[in-house]
């Protein structure tokens, strides 16, 4: 499909044309295409965590489709890379597997989750991933990577910002249970009317998470421009204890924060954006902050990547000027600079 607009393949509905676009019906078909593709290549799944520039991509774009879920034994459930992530989350709840229920409603494909180390409401995929099957383009071999080899960190892995590896499938080690993992997120616990650390029925947790996400415009709805986004655009900054105290002094009080295992402090990016003077719905041309959640940058219709990244830069510059902390984008950028 020469010249096919990539805006049709991203949740932001932004992106220029591809020189060639191929929809692969399986990971194996994607490998075959990538082996023979001349020049640069790009793999897209659900297109939910990417900003593609207005010039598009001068190469071969492979859109990975096709899925499947199977029980591999010993609590391990294998999902193929092209499987829609929320369909997998729903499958685990319906089949009595606990471990990813708080990740319900997240758009995109299952194969993308280890790349980003997707997380929400107190869970992240690194907590339950047992192995990631990848194709190594340079070695032209398929093998299973352990979680340690994946180098998981906050919204990061060795796969991010690299096109060397193609995720083929992901193994999750889940618990057979009718109840969730201990609820770790205060907002979710409040919605469920339980204490942090308690468990709740899997189905109730999934529905509560979906309700919370819908309230923030984080469940895809083609009629709601607040969902024409890449989800949370900025990661929560992690700073040292000294820098955190300086930030709190500038803020005139302690912003929402969480201590990390290494003694540093993760600060709410959404709070920083609001404290820097940006309100929900703050708009520049065809882009705006979501009317529901300041952490999402949205396409109000007809937006360009240039407009979107200009707004992102404006927000990040103001937060840095006010608080001395630089916000960094969560989505991957392709032929687009931030």
Residue 41: beta bridge partners?
Answer: 60
Which of the residues 98, 157, 169, 232 is marked catalytic? 232
Half-sphere exposure of 186 (CA within 13 A, CB side): 3
Helix (H) or strand (E) holding 120: strand 119-120
Q: Say if CB 82 and CB 26 are below 8 A apart.
A: yes
Is 162 a known active-site residue? no
Q: Which of 78, 133, 155, 213 is catalytic?
A: 155
Token pair in block for residue 232: 């949370």
Q: Which strands form 41-44's sheet, in the order they lie side by side?
A: 18-24, 57-64, 41-44
- Tokens of residue 201, six digits: 């029925």
Active-site choice (20, 124, 307, 330): 330
Ramachandran region, residue 199 (left: φ > 0; alpha: ψ -120 to 50; beta: rest):
beta
Whether 268 is a known active-site residue: answer no
Quickly list DSSP for 22-49: EEESSHHHHHHHHHH--S-EEEESS--S
Classify burial at 141, counting beta carbons within 10 Å of its beta carbon; exposed 0-12, middle 13-18, buried 19 or more.
Answer: exposed
Helix spans in the chain (H):
27-36, 85-94, 113-116, 147-150, 186-192, 202-215, 241-251, 269-275, 305-323
Decide: 6 and 25 in contact? Cβ < 8 Å: no
Question: Strands 287-289, 296-299: parallel, antiparallel or unpaired by DSSP?
Answer: antiparallel
From CA 239, how far away is CA 234, in angstroms rounded? Answer: 15
In the residue annotation, 330 being an active-site residue is answered as yes
Cα gap 315→177, rounded to integer Å: 43
| Residues marked as catalytic | 155, 232, 330
């Amino acid at each position: 499909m020469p010249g096919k607009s990539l805006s049709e393949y991203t949740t932001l509905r932004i992106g220029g044309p591809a020189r060639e676009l191929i929809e692969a019906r399986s990971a194996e078909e994607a490998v075959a295409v990538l082996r023979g593709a001349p020049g640069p290549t790009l793999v897209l799944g659900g297109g939910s965590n990417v900003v593609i520039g207005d010039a598009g991509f001068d190469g071969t774009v492979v859109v990975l489709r096709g899925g499947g879920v199977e029980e591999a034994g010993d609590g391990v459930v294998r999902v193929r890379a092209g499987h829609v992530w929320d369909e997998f989350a729903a499958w685990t709840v319906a089949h009595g597997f606990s471990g990813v229920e708080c990740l319900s409603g997240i758009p995109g494909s299952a194969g993308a989750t280890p790349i980003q180390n997707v997380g929400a409401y107190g869970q992240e995929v690194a907590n339950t991933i047992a192995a990631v099957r990848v194709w190594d383009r340079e070695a032209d071999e398929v093998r299973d990577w352990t979680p340690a080899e994946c180098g998981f960190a906050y919204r990061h892995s060795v796969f991010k910002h690299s096109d060397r590896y193609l995720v083929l499938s992901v193994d999750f080690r889940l618990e057979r249970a009718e109840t969730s993992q201990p609820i770790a997120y205060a907002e979710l616990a409040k919605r469920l009317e339980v204490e942090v650390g308690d468990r709740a029925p899997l189905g109730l947790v999934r529905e509560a998470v979906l309700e919370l996400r819908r309230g923030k415009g984080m469940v895809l709805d083609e009629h709601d421009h607040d969902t024409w986004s890449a989800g949370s655009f900025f990661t929560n900054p992690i700073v040292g204890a000294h820098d955190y105290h300086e930030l709190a002094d500038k803020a005139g009080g302690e912003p929402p924060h969480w201590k990390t295992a290494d003694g540093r402090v993760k600060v709410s990016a959404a709070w920083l954006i609001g404290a820097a003077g940006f309100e929900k719905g703050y708009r520049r041309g065809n882009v705006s902050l979501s009317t529901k959640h300041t952490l999402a940058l949205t396409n109000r219709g007809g937006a360009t990547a240039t407009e979107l990244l200009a707004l992102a830069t404006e927000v990040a510059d103001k937060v840095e000027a006010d608080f001395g902390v630089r916000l960094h984008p969560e989505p991957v950028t392709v032929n687009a600079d931030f």
